[in-house]
Amino acid sequence: LRYFIDLSYNGTHYHGWQVQPNAVTVQATLNKALSVLLKSPTDSMGAGRTDTGVHAVQMVAHFDTEVSFDREQMPYKLNAFLPKDIAVNTIKNVHEAAHARFDAISRSYIYKITTSKNVFEHDKCHCFTRPLDVNRMNEASRILRGYKDFECFSRLHSDVKTFLCQISHAQWIQTENHLEFKITADRFLRNMVRAIVGTMLDVGIYKTSLDEFKNIIESKDRSNAGASAPAKGLYLTEILYPNSIYLDD
């Protein structure tokens, strides 16, 4: 039987989501917890991967098991077993063919910036104290939404087949002490959000003009874009699936 597990993690102390040799990752930590509690080796498949230091308010993964368990109680048991920086929110029954990665309709990220020294969030936001023109950065967001090919914001030597992404939402929101960039798309290229944010910060400090921002995207050349913003400010926040993949309780 196949299940979707919905979890949150603070990525500070992990080498990203994906299992890799000789590094502590969120997926490896989750797999171990599932295997211990189900008393059977269990692997999970994530909706995507997050890089070292990136956080998730919501990550979704699927796993298969023939072991029966109490689906209401299992999150509590997993949370007691998992370290304090990984939390399981829900476990849902899905169709056998449902796939956490391939069936996702959209993914959303938030990038958080503190505009002054913040003693409570120094490891969870990018601290950027130079004055930023947020209206101008939202002009850049509008330009961004007009494009589909984001090779310019893709990690070099990436082996993806296409650089096309359908961005449905991209906006900067200013609060009292924070500046947040919210972006939703059908898919994201590796390092894409951090490269977009880094380039938009250059727009916000008038290092890059809006015309140059357009030219960067059209150049399809990563070396024209700005530096990647630090991982600690990035949060995977939501992954949407069609309702049809869920089985009734």
Q: Which residues are catalytic?
A: 51
Please tell me whether residue 232 binds its own copies under the rule CB under 8 A: no
When the beta carbons of 87 and 210 are compared against its own copies, the nearer one is: 87
Binding to its own copies by residue 85, rule CB under 8 A? yes
User: CA of 249: how far to CAs of 70, 99, 153, 239, in Å?
Assistant: 12, 19, 42, 21
Cβ 9 to its own copies shortest distance, Å:
5
Tokens 């919210």 -> residue: 182
- Which CB atom, from 35 or from 79, has the smaller least distance to its own copies? 79
Per-position x/- string for 94-133, each x denoting binding to its own copies as judged by CB under 8 A, each - no binding: ----------------------xxxxx-x-x---------
C-alpha 200/C-alpha 225 separation (Å) is 9
Q: Is 176 in the site for its own copies (CB under 8 A)?
A: no
Contact between 55 and its own copies by CB under 8 A: the answer reads: yes
- Which residues make Cβ contacts (< 8 Å) with residue 249, sequence separation at least 6? 93
Nearer to its own copies, 69 or 81 (CB): 81
**16 and 48 Cβ atoms separated by less than 8 Å:** no
CA distances from 182 to 77, 171, 194 (A): 33, 5, 12
Q: Does 93 bind its own copies (CB under 8 A)?
A: no
CB of 120 to its own copies, least distance (A): 5
Which among 7-15, 142-150, 158-166, 197-205 is the span making contact with its own copies, rule CB under 8 A? 7-15
- Interface with its own copies includes 43 (CB under 8 A)? no
Q: Is 52 in the site for its own copies (CB under 8 A)?
A: no
Applying CB under 8 A, what is the total number of residues that bind its own copies? 16
Site string for its own copies, 184-223 (x = CB under 8 A): ----------------------------------------
Distance, CA of 141 to chain centre: 18
E strand residue ranges, the chain: 2-9, 44-46, 55-64, 86-94, 106-114, 126-127, 167-174, 178-185, 234-240
206: left (phi over 0), alpha (psi -120 to 50) or beta: left
Report the C-alpha gap between 217 and 167 in whole angstroms: 14
CA–CA distance, 158 with 148 (Å, rounded to integer): 17
Query: Which stretches of the chain bind its own copies, using CB under 8 A?
Result: 8-10, 55, 79, 84-87, 116-120, 122, 124
